[in-house]
Amino acid sequence: MKSIYRCILAHPKPAKFILALLVTFFCVYVMDAETFSFGFRFFMAFSLIFSCYTFVNSVSDLLLREPLEKLEQYCDPYPLLAEVEIHMKKLPDSFQGQMIQINYALALVQTGSYEKALEVLEAVDMDKYPNPIAKFIYYNNLCDLMTRLDRYPEADSWYRKSLEILDSLPNNRLKGRLDRTEAMNAIEALYRDQDYAGALRRLARIPCPTPRAVVDAALLAARCNLALEEWDKAKEKLQYVIDNGNRLQCVTEAKQLLNNLN
């Protein structure tokens, strides 16, 4: 199935054309004109062609679903990096193309290529295909990246922009899915403001739905402990990151911090 998806991803326009021909053939020659009215066949053709076009446009998401799951559940960013690099070779000039770039930057960040990730994100024109959820994700990723690069004023600026987007969204289930991300952003803002005790209090209450989220929270807690000179607590959390972070870049960072304590 993946080979078919990759073929469609590489040739989206021919795939849409072929599927449209198949649907037309089905509706004209397979659906008996004596049994089905012209209006019904026209409606079926329109509905099926629309579904086919939607399917072709969603192939990228289907291919990225498993690598993203491996990142979140197994802390392994390299399948996502390998997959999204294939997508970047034929990047569509569309909203879908923007999301591919954002996912590429995510994979680069998780493998430690911070400067390259910044280049990718800075090349994205989020105003060309405006979508508030995508903008929130984009601003959030830039905030996180600037924090990792110790560029705190810029991180704070992107954090404020993400809050503006969040405040503009209607209160519904979709907005609710962003609550955990916003809460983590607020904790990182406390860390940048050197309110380490406040950040630790909020970290103790934040839900961590995936293993990667737990590892990220543990590393941030460890950095707060280090700033407060709580060496034993910091060592415990750093060891947790090392034991559970698998192939994430944060494992290398945790090892360096732990070596500095020994």
Per-residue pLDDT of the chain (262 residues), as tens digits, is 777 877 777 777 777 778 777 777 776 666 666 666 767 777 777 787 788 778 877 888 889 999 999 999 999 999 999 999 998 988 787 888 899 999 999 999 999 999 999 999 999 998 888 889 999 999 999 999 999 999 999 999 999 999 999 888 888 777 778 888 999 999 999 999 999 999 999 999 999 999 999 999 999 999 999 999 999 999 999 999 999 999 999 999 999 999 988 7
pTM of the model: 0.87
pLDDT at position 55 is 81
* CB contact at 8 A, 193 and 151: no
pLDDT at position 36 is 66
114's CB contacts (< 8 A; 6+ apart) are: 108, 145, 148, 149
Taken as a whole, the chain contains a residue count of: 262
Nearest to 120 by CA among 159, 84, 69, 79: 84
Torsion of CA 155, 158, 162, 165, to 10 degrees: 170
* Cα 15 to Cα 21, 43, 51, distances in angstroms: 10, 21, 13
Nearest to 249 by CA among 227, 221, 219: 219
* CB contact at 8 A, 101 and 87: no
pLDDT at position 39 is 72
Q: At what angle do helices 2-10 and 12-25 cross, to 10 degrees?
A: 110
Give the separation between CA 253 and CA 230, rounded to whole angstroms.
18
Quote the DSSP letter at residue 195: -
pLDDT at position 43 is 75
For the chain, helix, strand, coil in percent to 5 are 80, 0, 20
